[in-house]
Structure 1
């Protein structure tokens, strides 16, 4: 891969972030590659152009923010893990230089991970859109400790979800919030979407695995808020609706073999 300019998104709250950034800078200087650094908490518009790669320094949370930018710019992304267990950030700080050398020589695997998009519908509110790599969550608000979401897939009713809310997750997100809610583990390159209820006040409500071509309509029957990868996006009043579907642009995740990064099922085994 021809690298001229790299966008680095760093979580400076991590103690090792400055060390990792300095190692990356030294490597880039030797190679004649420009580095643009952005804090993970920075939500301002990105003005830089002609970027070739996104690198995140932090945990999976920092990676999710970087993945959103990478998808918008249609760029591949590498995650450097400065946390503990990282499903998305598989490169350790000690392997930064060797991983980037492999990027230069095209010695890597490029995994296409589907993203999910949510868009408000109806004339009662301005149209808002967002995308997520892990999940779109429709959850209760801080004031109302209970919500109810009625969910449709195309013309079919999937039923009503009273309780803490419901998640529409990607295979990548199956090992995140959805896993904590009792959802299934899905191999991350599969082409499907997962519906997982959150603490449902109803017996017999379980997770569903549906084709990624499914178009969902979620109607709020009680106040709710919409989360994209855990970040609040919009509030839903009773009667407001959200259309949720597979996003047009995926996340293009650069993966390395051993010893740089463990595979997915090795990470799953570490959960137990």
Structure 2
């Protein structure tokens, strides 16, 4: 009989993550993370209303996104599809109800492209010592249902402006997997020369940037390229962009791949001269 002993994630310095040092965790979090990290099943934990994400190697392999580095333990800049596909399902879990959802098509990465994979999802509320729901554990498994064919969208040329290096890498990788051509900048000051040198279909910028804001960048970009479509990402929803003097779309952070793809599909369907 073979036996393998393994301490839960011995190499992880949890004090550097959003969860803090393991000694300060409640017992329910310790137990759930131990289970998650020591199971071969793909699992994803969302802890707290801040949506700190912890996941295992099997989940990272299933989703196929190169930037996923287990065990995570941070608030994601883009929500995983298992969390964002059905707000009602997540709401029921926060209300304390376990539930399973079979044969749901969710996006995964395969060979550098996004495809739809039919998955079964199982949600379990994680309760603290006061019997309050403190987090939600999601287990995933491939379903026998056939995945739906991914819809084709016309490729766009985007300039992504995001000061957070990890978030910038993730969104650019996602956009390229969706078939778009992407260039990136870390600030408005860095983006302006790119807008002068090249022609873009979309400026996708964070609203809150160091130095020049995303809104000020958009104003200056439109002077150079009046037909440029504008897409903002903001932790404040459309609060900072709804009263602008020019048309733009806005995504609430953290957004998911379906919301991003939907916004770009809407832009791609418009004639260039009619794009907001």
What TM-score, normalized to structure 2? 0.29
Return the index of the structure with the highest Cα Rg.
Answer: 2
**Which one scores higher on RCO, CA 8 angstroms, separation ≥ 6?**
1
TM-score of the aligned structures, taking structure 1 as reference length: 0.29
User: More strand by proportion, 1 or 2?
Assistant: 1
